[in-house]
Structure 1
Amino acid sequence: MSTRTVGVFSLGGTIAMTTDPATGGVVPALSAGDLLDAVPALRSLDVELQVHDFRRLPGASLGFEDLYALSDAVADAFRSGCDGVVVTQGTDTIEETAHLLDLLHAGDRPIVVTGAMRNPTLPGADGPANLYAAVLAAADPALTGVGAVVVLGDEIHAARAVRKSHTTSPAAFTSPASGPLGGLYEGRAHLNRPLARRVAFPGRPVRAAPRVGLYTATLGDDGALLAGMAAACDGLVVAAFGVGHVPQSFVAVLGDTAARIPVVLTSRIGNGPVLSATYGFPGSEKDLLDRGLVRGGHLDAYRARILLHLLLAQGRTPAEIADAFRALAD
């Protein structure tokens, strides 16, 4: 394989943290160059690295504007000749970052998002190994057409499927519905199955940041808090029970809200689809979809919120929003 070029964008997070003497806790302080210097094995690869010290924030403090700016910078890196891109960031929001980058990226070259569960001050810090694996993945032609993926623990996870499933374990990232897309060993990426069809929605925001709420159904909720949230939103995602069910007290509020703004129906389970025509009682998936809610399909609530925010920011019409969710529903 001829020399490949990989852009590395550092956003901060645990992978880039060191101890703050003032607080005794770790904070994001290492630059992208510092991260690469901690992985001597990268020097043996036939890969040219282009380093971008993009942000130094905890994952929880990243916002949409940071990620839209990152998407633009990644696009510039591809236009300048990069064969792949690596993004390092905090694991708190890796799912959201990878999904948004995947939605915005219409090209074939891979975007690989990685991070660390153990900060560099701890024994067995996993950041260097994850960064090495991410660079290998981004440089590997086998990932052409993959879109955005998450690489940790030598596993490759599709942006649409990956979940952080444990708060502290180095093996925190899984793909419950499908398993990993592939893995890395002997210096190469190996895919477990053919790449799935991707749907992208490239384009910069054309309106001020929309306010998209996420409301989770819980036992005994009378709907008053839901009504308060809905009144303040430009779009709403409901994380319903099971296959798409809510308390009967939600029904009128959701019907009225769906007549005013897009309301997306997802499941709080996070694995499996929202159905469309099985149950018919008030508050069932069929009842809610008949009242104008948009079916989230297999998208979990967090991903549905990312997609709805993007579509609203791009100025899409209600019909276009419904079409977009249909395209990604199954």
Structure 2
Amino acid sequence: MKLKHLSLSLLTFFLCILGVFCTASYQAQNVAATFQALTSVKVCTSSNSGNQLLVQYAKNKGIFQKYGLNVEVISIESGTEAAVAMIAKSVNFCQIAGSSVINAVIAGEDLVMIAGIFNQYPYAFISVPSIKTPQGLKGKAVAISKSGSSTDAAIRAALKYLKLNPDKDVEIAAVGGEGERLQAMEAGRISATVLSFPLSLKAKNKGYHTLLDMTTLDIPYQHTVIATTRSYIKANPQVTVNFMKAIVEAIATIKKDRKGAIATLVRANKYDPKADAAILEEWYDTTIQKKIAKVPYPTLKGITKMLGDVKVTNPQASKFKAEDTVDISILRNLEKSGFINNLYKPK
């Protein structure tokens, strides 16, 4: 009798073990199948600044995965280098400065803007505390990231607005990203630069002087865009549609997620969530809520003006219209279908 009970117990034990392994195996197969079903996509961001966080936010929140995409986010320090990466097919999409795409298109490269994330200047033109007027910059060095970048275009526009000649009155030095430019200013190597929110607010709190808040100018300018190549769209139409679905959903989500937006910025830029709480809140209100459109069309007026500026030094730009640099067909279809409008309906 005892032997019989022992045999039943052993049988029950082994069946339980088998059940555990079968369940674990089934779950592992499901996870593997889900992973295999996702399309791998490489996406670059050309800065970690406050106006370049939408892609990272979408990844953090699992929005790309929702649309069948396994996205690898690659940080590239400048728009110029990011454009090169797309041209070389090292990445498939990029959140990048519009000026870098425009310059590449003028040069005959296969790049195109499919969304406009920030359609105005996101910068403040900041100087060291000792310089409180534009005239004080004469003969001094001002910093950009790289020649041909959005910071180059912005600082030239700021200088012209302030009645200074960017080619005669100052020395324009390529220093690097926002962090490097602020460090160069703190070290006394440069006298001014452009910084985006919230770093510009942080610099102001440190005693640096705001010569011009470019966000108040209301001048159309294609600053941050989502870009890819026309050849990639043609070869991967559904992937491109799914990517844009994720982007517009990320916009709708981040506008309702103050905590998640700030957390993404804090992780990317090492802000102190307590000490920097006030500027982080102001960044969210002024940048995320007010500057990103629900339907992120590029600004054709802004691109037209940018082409005109480039034409001064590169006559080749006169051969192009703003429409030659964009493809809004996917975004237009998402809007007409009601997909974007549904993202903002109460659930």
Structure with the higher helix share, 1 or 2:
2
Relative CO higher for 1 or 2, CA cutoff 8 Å, sep ≥ 6? 2
User: Which has the greater radius of gyration?
Assistant: 2
Please say whether Structure 1 and Structure 2 have the same fold, judged by a TM-score greater than 0.5. no
Normalised-by-shorter TM-score class: under 0.3
* TM-score of the pair, normalised by structure 2: 0.20
* TM-score of the pair, normalised by structure 1: 0.21
